[in-house]
Chain A
């Protein structure tokens, strides 16, 4: 409540790039590395995470004045767990096939630290509108990294892209599958968890290179560095 609510543009930039939960905060790595072996898995879990994150941010923001500091964490956890269970039930009811693929990783959304992190660091201090936007953008940032990782690992590991997309989008998507290399011998390293760490590291490195270029370009045009890069640290602290 002490800090002023940031503007929509800043919240969006924060979630997608500056303070990306996967690339900068390194939160929620377990599901991130676990299901990023194909685009369809990554997208499925990404969407479910966005839903839970936006929902929990909304609820936490609404109840932020009713819950005192001593019990705020258990209450947040209860809210997140309840929402995840509801999403799981709804997915089972309406997208049964997708639920079947993602299996254990749906209930594991509860353990994604970025959700509790956003509830505590942002939603409990800001009004509902900003909190929902923050949830959506943080979720989108997470999902984006998931999908990029999924695409990298699927193409290098199995030589295909967008295979099995019909599980998420119905029969229309059956033709979306792209075979990049015919008779590709699987490159197991990319499919297994160690490969996930490797590609994740590459993504973080690429982000840092881009950030460095941006700040250098800014230095060249301005005498003093702008506050842009400092903001990352200010909003990035997660208690």
Chain B
């Protein structure tokens, strides 16, 4: 073939390819924008509801962690937990990465218990979010998992709806069991692991133990903050008898 036409076809082929490539990238870019837009729309539409759902689940969990009725039937505490929030700064013992909210329970002005948001960072599939209720004397009133991504059928036995394993913590404290007992049986502790899943319960036990230590060190500061919050919310209902 003659050299001339060949170069011509070459350049036009190159131009064609370039045009096709830019058309393709444009389409790709357009779809990227469209799909991101779709997700953003859904997110904006559902965000408030999702936050609300998470909050609702938390409220239900709060009353399970810290039952309002004491053993003898009288009220254990008489304040509104959701209105007596305490802000808890980022802390390694609690596994938190952002400032989180806890709750304080009072009877009159007497501190009764706190509920702390605790994150177990070493779950099998990422962080396990929990709420840990600790009474003023340092015993656990209850623990519940609020959010996790553990394996269905194995690690998810930490959820109360799947098994009652999580209730073993009630009544435990830093002295009960002693330091050595705060682990799963496989590690020489006294808490059961699950068949097929050790990492998940190990992470939960460790996180609960850490939160007890945190409470012991920060007890007074937590209740002071709670009491301040309590008095502020009571401020508007000043004239009424404080029951």
Contact = CB atoms under 8 A, between A and B. Distances in A.
Interface of A: 34-35, 37-38, 41, 66-68, 70-71, 74-75, 78-79, 81-82, 85-86, 89-90, 92-94, 96-97, 100-105, 164, 167, 186, 188, 191-192
Contact of A89 (B28, B46, B152, B153): B46
A204 B187 CA distance: 42
B57 A96 contact: yes
Given A41-B153, A102-B152, A86 B196 contact: no
Contacts of B159: 100
Given A85-B39, A85-B42, A188-B196, A78 B32 contact: yes
Given A82-B39, A164-B161, A167-B161, A93 B153 contact: no
Interface residues of B, number: 35
A86 B38 contact: yes
A73 B20 CA distance: 16
B148 to A, nearest CB: 7
B152 A66 contact: no
Interface stretch (B2-10, B48-56, B90-98, B113-121): B48-56
Nearest to B145: A100
A103 B53 contact: no
B61 to A, nearest CB: 12
A93 B46 contact: yes
B225 interface: no
B27 interface: yes
Given A90-B46, A96-B50, 5 more contacts: A74-B28, A79-B35, A81-B35, A86-B39, A164-B161
Contacts of A191: 153-154, 196
A90 B49 CA distance: 9
A82 B148 CA distance: 23
Nearest to B162: A164
Contacts of A85: 39, 42
Contact of B156 (A78, A86, A96, A103): A103
Interface in B1-36: 20, 23-24, 27-28, 31-32, 35-36
B147 to A, nearest CB: 7
26 contacts: A34-B151, A37-B153, A68-B24, A68-B27, A71-B24, A71-B27, A78-B35, A79-B31, A79-B35, A85-B42, A86-B38, A86-B42, A89-B39, A89-B46, A89-B50, A93-B50, A93-B53, A96-B50, A96-B57, A102-B152, A103-B150, A104-B125, A164-B161, A167-B161, A186-B195, A191-B153
